[in-house]
Amino acid sequence: MKDSVANPILDIRDLHVHFPVGGQFLSRSKRTLHAVSGVNLALAEGECLSIVGESGCGKSTTALAVMGLQEPTSGEILFEGNSIIGENAPDRMARARIAQMVFQDPYASLNPRQTVYRSLAAPLRLHGTSAKSEIEDRVADILKKVDLRPEHATRFPHEFSGGQRQRIGIARALILDPRILMLDEPVSALDVSVRAQIINLLLDLQEDMSLSFVMISHDLGVVEHMSDRVAVMYFGQIVELGPWNAIFANPTHPYTRKLIATIPDPDTVLHPDRAVAVGKYVAPPAGYRFHPQSVNRPDVYAAPEASQLVEIGPGHVVRCQPD
Amino acid sequence: MTPLLELKGLHVGIPARRKTFEIVSDVSFSIMPGEAFGLVGESGSGKSLTALSLIRLLKSPLKVTAGEILFKGDDLRGLSDRAMRKLRGERIAMIFQEPMTALNPLKTVGRQIAEMFVLHQGKSWAEALKMAVDALADVKVPAPEERVRAYPFQMSGGMRQRVMIAIALACDPDLLIADEPTTALDVTVQDEVLKLIAELCSARGTAVLLISHDLGVIANMCQRVGVMYSGRLVEERDTYDVFADPQHPYTKGLLGALPRLGSRHGAAGRQRLVDIDSLITDKSSLLEKFYFEPRHAVRDPRLRAGGPP
Amino acid sequence: MRGFNFNLWFGGFLTLVVVIGALFAPLLTSLDPVYDANLMNAELPPDGEFWFGTDEQGRDIFTRVLYGARISLTVGVVSQIINSVIGLALGISAAYWGGWWDDLVNGLTNVMLAIPSLIFALAIMAILGPGLLSLLIALGLTNWSWTCRIARSSTLSLKGQGYVQAAQTLGYGDIRIMATQLLPNMVGPILVISTLGIGAAVLAEAALSFLGLGIRPPFPSWGSMLTNARELIAIAPWATIFPGLAIFVTVLGFNLLGDGLRDYLDPHMRTREQ
């Protein structure tokens, strides 16, 4: 069932990513790890779509598939209507102008042996910009956009703090003027006070540069603050998808509710009744039961049972099976 | 009621020839028996060092340069190394953030728990292993009779953390120090582990010193909170008061910098998150009153590179 | 502050002595190593004129040791360069691409490590015949396994770093990534193994020349000098001592330099990180 967005800039259709496990030279039993099973997601231009879930749910694998770093087993990924996987896939250079990624660990996302200038200038040169003055201008420009000074370009990554490194990572992702930015846990590794600045920066940049975001996160506070729509993933499948206020005000699927209820939130001290409200049971739509029913570990080596996404509100769907 | 633990003017630093590089300055707080006290702060605030200094786990060249550490009335600084070793594990226990590195990868978890009974309570290995099974059951590990023979690498992160808790609580200590016990875990597992700690400690009357950078974690578990910034304790009150009416600018900033669940639903919509560092570098007299010093850590890379963090 | 790095300084000093001796041989001695042979001067002990004495043909040993250094260093450095190129190419690509290529390279490396290197070099020399070029090829093809192993394990650990993935998303091709992102970040261990490899190559050259398979007399090679000096041990021991000493000093120098570099590069990086 397609995700209902008109003219999406990015359209993920029935994405499956399966990994063969345990089969090397001479093994007999080959199991398949179903990392992503039938994901449908559409990204509207200019929106921020977040994919939330815990480790192992497949959100990172989905992101890698979109970025071209992971070969999908089946399914389709379209950028502005054109396929970007399979035989018709654009080469790496063309891909680079479509989507870029901001990585989670600011301490590992920059080449320690390259100055900031080189990390930013090299992609420009690779993509055809040769005039030194133009390169210098664009590097200075992008550094200013992420609230760093052009003089910082001559330094090495280890001379910067975590937050600054993340800014450099964002600058690098933006230097080629991509249309889509994939944010992989962009602030998880940063201190609380620094997170606020990076979040503010990302939101500002989104507006300034007309970017569309796909954000992967397990931090629901950040997700609620930044997203237009939220997709909740559980063991390779989307179990709930909808506008941010619907997901957070009216979480329906048992897994979504568990996720939101278990976030340690300072507000529970002041408003203990809020937590109770979220934990209350919500009935599935008529004629259906939720799928998966229980939130215990399913068998990741088996293909999931047939199920569908049922609409329970405008743009708000939840995964069910017919009763 | 006399406090179980009382810190008076703790200073931790690196003594050098001319002067001492201070990392923790003048920290004082107390924990009552059975109480859960939270120490919250960001990385570099000194909260972990404060905890390590309590049970003399500081690695040289870090040293406690001044202050009293009173545990049940006795100054821990005066204890011999031998007495300190006995205290650790028996009366004060500690669990860490990374269970994989805190557990011995070459010994079964059952043996590691049993060690506590053998070393501290003089039990025989056979008896201790039986007690280890019980300990695993207490921390809600399923099929404990089988799990005793498992090695740490065979267990999930949440399971390993439960084993750490079992080891820590084996000898019924008076105080449990938990340093970021759930930071490395998934959200739902985090919730279970925290509930477990709360349950076990309130059942046994164990006091808890919970250290975290996550205000939410502290909020759910602790009756009182200390906020640390740049080596100093800037605020220390009941949890409710700290969240409802934060006094110190840093605490206010910390609460305002968090994207809070439910905050966006209001009429005002999405609020711009508070930028703590602009509070910090703007050194007005009001801030000075609260001993609010900029992050002058000796090797702060931001001061070298300049610009926002 | 780090303690004084003895290995680095002393090893560097010894290596420098050998290099200077080799480079400036014509300036340091006016005699020719091959042609200035006067039977009247045969088997003279070290004195004011012949600092290391003379050999059975009346040639100045000091001169021959100096020119022999050129051979040894050339063989050492060039064969190590060949080793490094092969080892890096195979190791980095094996870890980066994985799959059957990785299995193949691993298998090949295991085979090479199991064969005694000298015997392998001997076999190649037997096919190619003696001489400097064959020596370079033989040694170059023999000792690349260590470099390959290190390159492979470094690549495996670096592969997962964010900046490598970033390079892929930025449009970099595989070869460019291997050359610009991976290779520069393993310079430390590679440099160390290379200096140790040079020392090993010098020893190997000496052994092969001693066996008559490397540099043929009358050209001076420390190994072949030792061969000639075998018969003279009783009457002119200096003919054995000085070439032997030269080998010893050279190999020791490179080994210490390698150790010193390893220590220098490691904590240095750490302190800079702080």
C-alpha closest to that of C215 among C148, C133, C142: C133
Roughly what angle, to the nearest 10 degrees, separates helices C61-97 and C187-210?
A: 130
CA distance C266 to chain A (A): 14
Give the residue-averaged pLDDT of B49-74: 89
Q: Is A113 in the same domain as A151? A: yes
> Is A92–C161 a contact, with Cβ atoms under 8 angstroms apart?
no
A238 near A41, Cβ under 8 Å? yes
Check if the beta carbon of residue A254 is closer than 8 Å to that of residue A290.
Answer: yes
**Do A55 and A122 lie in a common domain?**
no
Structure ipTM: 0.80
Tell me the per-residue pLDDT of A89-108, one tens digit each, with 9 for 90 and over. 888 888 899 999 999 999 88
Q: What is the spatial distance between Cα A181 and Cα A63, in angstroms, rounded to a whole number? A: 11
Is A91 found in the same domain as A227?
A: yes
Q: Give the model confidence (pLDDT) of C208-218 as tens digits.
A: 888 878 777 77
Binary contact (B190, A262; C-beta < 8 A)? yes
CA distance B151 to C217: 65
pTM of the predicted model as reported, rounded to 2 decimal places: 0.81
List chain A residues with CB under 8 Å of C157.
none
Q: Structural domain tally of chain A? A: 2
Together in a domain, A114 and A233: no
Question: Could you tell me how many residues make up chain C?
Answer: 274
Distance from CA of C8 to the nearest CA of A (A): 23
Please report whether residue A205 resides in a domain: no
Give the three-state DSSP class for C48: coil
pLDDT of residue A48: 95
Q: Which residues contact A64 (CB under 8 A, 6 or more apart)?
A: A70
Q: What pLDDT sits at residue C269?
A: 47
- Nearest chain B residue to A163 by CA: give it: B309
User: Is the separation of the CB atoms in B10 and B35 below 8 Å?
Assistant: no
Give the domain C60-273 fold. Answer: MetI-like fold (1.10.3720)
Tell me, yes or no, whether A32 lies in a domain.
Answer: yes
A236 and A307 fall within a common domain = yes
What local confidence, expressed as pLDDT, does residue B262 receive? 66
CA distance A186 to chain B (A): 14
- Best-predicted range by mean pLDDT (B269-273, B289-293, C189-193): C189-193
pLDDT confidence of residue C42: 81
**For chain B, percent of residues with pLDDT exceeding 90:** 37
> What pLDDT sits at residue B301?
40
Question: Are A217 and A315 part of one and the same domain?
Answer: yes
Taking an 8 Å cut-off on Cβ atoms, the answer to whether A111 and C181 are in contact is: yes
Q: Which chains touch B (3 or more CB pairs under 8 A)?
A: A
How many other CB atoms sit within 10 Å of the CB of residue A78? 16
Same domain, A92 and A33: yes
Residue C274, pLDDT > 50, answer: no
Domain housing A62: 10-98+181-195+210-322
- Report pLDDT digits (tens) over A202-225: 999 999 998 999 999 888 888 988
Q: Do A242 and A173 fall into the same domain?
A: no
Same-domain status, A122 and A87: no
Instruction: Walk across the sheet containing B20-31 and list its strands.
Output: B20-31, B5-15, B63-71, B74-75
Is A5 domain-assigned? no
Q: Could you tell me if A318 and A239 are in contact, meaning their C-beta atoms sit under 8 angstroms apart?
A: yes
Q: Cβ of C171 and A69 within 8 Å?
A: no
Identify from A92, A124, A179, A184 which residue to disrupt to test chain C contact, counting C C-beta atoms within 10 A and taking the largest count.
A92
Nearest CB among A193, A221, A260 relative to B260 is that of A221
Is residue A289 included in any domain, yes or no?
yes
Same domain, A40 and A170: no
The 10s digit of each residue's pLDDT in A271-305 is 766 656 666 677 888 878 788 777 676 777 777 88
- Closest partner residue to B275 (CB to CB) among A54, A148, A196 is A196
C162 with A108: Cβ contact below 8 A: yes
Domains of chain B from N-terminus onward: 34-46+82-256 (3.40.50.300)
Pair A28, A150 in one domain: no
What pLDDT is recorded for position B249? 83
Tell me what the pLDDT averaged over chain B comes to: 83
State whether A191 and B42 contact (CB < 8 Å): yes
Specify the range with the lowest mean pLDDT, choosing from A38-42, A81-85, A198-202, C31-35. C31-35
Mean pLDDT: which of A1-5, A213-217, B285-289, C63-67 is highest? A213-217
In CATH, what number is assigned to the domain containing residue A76? 3.40.50.300
Determine, for residues A262 and B214 on separate chains, whether the beta-carbon distance falls below 8 Å: no
- Tell me, yes or no, whether A48 and A123 share the same domain: no
pLDDT in tens, C44-81: 888 888 888 888 888 888 888 998 898 889 999 999 99
B184 contact partners, CB below 8 Å, separation of at least 6: B97, B98, B99, B157
